[in-house]
Every structure is written in structure tokens, then in C-alpha cells.
Amino acid sequence: MIDGDDGVILLLYEAYKTHTERVRDARRDVHQLLLEEEWRVAMRERHYLTTQCLDAPCASGWMTLYEYGTDINFLNATSLTRPPKLRYLHHVLGLVLTFYVGSMEQSSLCITFGAPPSTLSRTLRKAEEALVRALNGYAPARISWPSPSCQVQEPSNADLQNAMYNGWLHSVFVTGTICFAADGCIIWSRHNCPGSWNDSDTSLEFRGKLTDPQYCPDGRMSVVSDSTFPCSTAMTGRILTPLKDGDIEKIEPSLRATARTLHSAITSIRQAAEWGMGCVQKVYSRLNLPLPYDPNLRGMRIGNLFRLANYRVRTVGIPEIKTTFSGAMEIPEQLTLSWCG
């Protein structure tokens, strides 16, 4: 018979032995898990080769194809050229839209799309050319939307650099003229003009259409512009400009209230047009960066950006001009134009 003290000692020893075995098993399991994790990390990094990685050469697929295949299927086993990095069209469309919307560098695009710089540049150029052909015949984007002044990269050729140099802004720029309709869409534009062109040069064709009865049969159609817009005798009453300093004193006292009201309306419309034009650069940040000095590539890129912006205005339906005057001003049947250059 075992007395009470011996029984207690045996029970304590049994509990201690069981606890020790469980701790040893837990340590062994934890050590095994750590080894497996380190092994998986080592296999992913591939810093070295093990004997398990080196199979017998006779069991490889190439040896089997060489032994039992023919010349035809042996040549077709590999591609004749390097496989493309962007295999599908929606990948290419995502690339060009990411390039337009973002302002990231080419190295960031290479990391995002997993393509080398040469492949990325070549694919991007082909994508822009394809986008030009697609947007030219697409109705919602039928009118381009240029910005008034887009900075470009300085060309290495001194003559080209002098041709596009702006003496007032002390930088290389391209200019243009755009005409907004009351619903926020672009009805006429001219962009990609190198250097500091005057408004009279960039808007010559537009002024010709404005005075042509074929394009503007209604004589009440007018254009809201700034005070520097060129105006000839034939366009009297067709260009509405805000008042300059001192003009209000030259007007008859009975007409000053009406002149102030017209001045406020012109200023409000012009601000809405400028806000709507600024939305293009906010959405497509590529316009905030220097554009390429190649005139063909620059014109193609600007045209794509403005057509996409015009498509966005038509599909989303919230242009700044329409939003500003929605409910406060009904758009008449005859089209009212607002100009910003």
C-alpha cells in the first residue's frame, strides 16, 4: 500500500513528466515550422540550387521532344520572337489612360505594367496613334479641347527653340484658342501653335466663321470674350467684352446700370468657361507636364487629351458652364457662345 504522501509525489511527478513532454513536442513543432518557412523563403529567392532542383537530363521535356519529335514541332516549341508584355487590347488602353491621367514618370509606368522602357515607349506610341484613329470618327469626342497655354520640352535645335520661346513667360510654350458653347462643349478650337502667337492669328478662322452667314445665320449670335480679343468693323456687336477701367464714365448715366449688369454677366460666363477649361488639366494631369517638342507627337497627344475631355463632358453631363448656370439661365434655341483664349 502507498501512503498519502507517496501518492501525491507520484501524481506531481506524472504531471511534471506530461508537461515536459508537451513542451518538448511544442518546441519541436515550432522549430519545424520555422525551418519550413525559411525553406520556402529560400526557394522563392533562389539564391542557390539543391540536388532536388537538378533532375536527370534524360527526363526533361527538351530531351523527350528531341528524341521522339520531328523538325516541325521542334521548331514550333518556342516562339520566333519575344512574347509581348501587354497581350490584350484593354491592357494597352489602360496603359495610355494611366499615362494621360497620371503624371508619373516612365520608370513608374514600367514598374506598374511590368514592361521595359523600350517596350513601354513603343507600345505607348502605337496606342496613341490607334487612339487618334478611334476618336476621329467617334461622335461624342468629335471636337478637340485645347488648353490656352501648354508648356513643352525645349528642343535641342536652337531655331526650333527660338520659334516656340515666349518672351513674357520666359519659357517654351504652345498656344491656342478655344470656343465653348453654353452647354460646356467645345464647338471650335485651334491648338498646338508654337511660340507666343497673338489672338488675331489663332482666331482668324474662327472670326471668319462667325461672320459667315452659312455658319451663323442669326445675327444675334454673339461671343463673350475678354477685352483683348481682336474685333473688326464687320464684327461690331458680335463680340461682347467686359468693361475696362474708366469705360463706365464714358457711358451715358442712364445706361450705366445696364452696362454694369452686362459686365457682371460677361465676367461670370468667362469665369465658368475658365473653370471648365481647368478641369481638363485636373483630370488629365499629363497637360501639367512639359509636352514633347516633336510637333506631330505633341499635336497627336494634345488632340487625344482634348477629345477625351470633350467625351467626358458629354457623357458625364456636368461641365462647369452648364453647372454654374443650371436653373438660373435657360439656354435659348439660338446657340450662345463663350470664348476663352
pLDDT of residue 339: 42
pLDDT of residue 71: 63
pLDDT of residue 74: 60
Distance CA 126, CA 96 (A): 10
Residues 234 and 296 in one domain: yes
Work out the average pLDDT over 191-204. Answer: 66
For 36-40, 157-161, 247-251, 267-271, which range has the lowest pLDDT when averaged over its residues? Answer: 157-161
- Residue 84: inside a domain, yes or no? yes
Last residue of a domain, one of 93, 118, 136: 136
Distance CA 243, CA 77 (A): 77
Q: Pick from 325, 195, 330, 328: which is nearest to 270 by CA?
A: 325
- Residue 22: inside a domain, yes or no? no
Strand locations in the chain, DSSP E? 149-151, 165-166, 171-181, 186-194, 223-224, 239-240, 337-340
Higher pLDDT, 15 or 248: 15
**Coil, strand, or helix at residue 37?**
helix
pLDDT of residue 204: 73
Residues 110 and 200 in one domain: no
List Cβ neighbours of 329 (8 Å cut-off, separation of 6 or more): none
Residues 208 and 336 in one domain: yes
Work out the average pLDDT over 86-112. Answer: 85
Q: What is the DSSP letter of 289?
A: S
**Coil, strand, or helix at residue 207?**
helix
pLDDT of residue 1: 46
Q: Answer for the pair 121, 92: CB distance below 8 angstroms, yes or no.
A: no
Determine whether 90 is exposed, middle or buried from the number of CB atoms within 10 Å of its CB (0-12, 13-18, 19+): exposed
pLDDT of residue 320: 55
Higher pLDDT, 204 or 321: 204
Last residue of a domain, one of 119, 136, 153: 136
pLDDT of residue 212: 76
For 26-40, 103-117, 322-336, which range has the lowest pLDDT when averaged over its residues? Answer: 322-336
| Banded model confidence at residue 268, pLDDT cuts 50, 70, 90 | confident
Q: Pick from 164, 215, 169: which is nearest to 188 by CA?
A: 215
Work out the average pLDDT over 34-39. Answer: 84
The span from the first CA to the last CA of the chain, in angstroms, equals 112
Inter-CA distances, 241 with 60, 188, 224, 229, 251, Å: 81, 19, 6, 8, 15
Q: Pick from 307, 313, 259: which is nearest to 97 by CA?
A: 307
| Residues present in the chain in total | 341
Residues 156 and 246 in one domain: yes
Work out the average pLDDT over 200-208. Answer: 71
Percent of the chain with pLDDT over 90: 4
**Coil, strand, or helix at residue 55?**
coil
- Residue 34: inside a domain, yes or no? no
- Residue 4: inside a domain, yes or no? no
Total domains in the fold of the chain: 2
Q: Pick from 224, 135, 228: which is nearest to 181 by CA?
A: 224
- Residue 221: inside a domain, yes or no? yes
pLDDT of residue 240: 76
Residues 191 and 81 in one domain: no
**Pairing between β-strand 337-340 and β-strand 186-194 as defined by DSSP bridges:** unpaired
Residues 202 and 288 in one domain: yes
Geometric angle at alpha carbon 336, from 331 and 339, rounded to 5°: 130
Of 10-14, 224-228, 249-253, highest mean pLDDT: 10-14
Residues 322 and 219 in one domain: yes
User: What are the tens digits of pLDDT across the range 42-90?
Assistant: 666 555 566 666 667 676 666 777 777 666 666 666 656 665 667 788 8
CA quadruple 263, 265, 269, 272: dihedral sign: positive
Higher pLDDT, 13 or 219: 13
Q: Which domain holds residue 67?
A: 60-136
Residues 66 and 159 in one domain: no
pLDDT of residue 52: 64
In this model, does residue 194 exceed pLDDT 60?
A: yes
pLDDT of residue 150: 46
For 72-86, 207-221, 231-245, which range has the lowest pLDDT when averaged over its residues? Answer: 72-86
Distance CA 222, CA 236 (A): 10
Residues 223 and 282 in one domain: yes
- Residue 162: inside a domain, yes or no? yes
- Residue 6: inside a domain, yes or no? no
What mean pLDDT is reported for the chain?
A: 71
Q: Answer for the pair 251, 259: CB distance below 8 angstroms, yes or no.
A: yes
- Residue 13: inside a domain, yes or no? no
| Banded model confidence at residue 230, pLDDT cuts 50, 70, 90 | low
Alpha helices in 46-167 (DSSP H): 61-68, 71-75, 89-101, 106-113, 117-136, 158-163
Grid cell in block for residue 173: 510654350
Question: How many CA atoms does the CB half-sphere of 12 hold within 13 Å?
Answer: 6
Residues 194 and 65 in one domain: no
pLDDT of residue 103: 80
| Banded model confidence at residue 214, pLDDT cuts 50, 70, 90 | confident
Residues 120 and 149 in one domain: no
User: What are the tens digits of pLDDT across the range 149-191?
Assistant: 444 444 455 444 444 443 333 344 667 777 776 666 777 777 7
Q: What is the DSSP letter of 155?
A: P
Distance CA 118, CA 126 (A): 12
Last residue of a domain, one of 104, 136, 168: 136
pLDDT of residue 334: 43
Residues 209 and 100 in one domain: no
User: What are the tens digits of pLDDT across the range 316-327?
Assistant: 765 555 555 554
Instruction: Tally Cβ neighbours within 10 Å of residue 315.
Output: 9
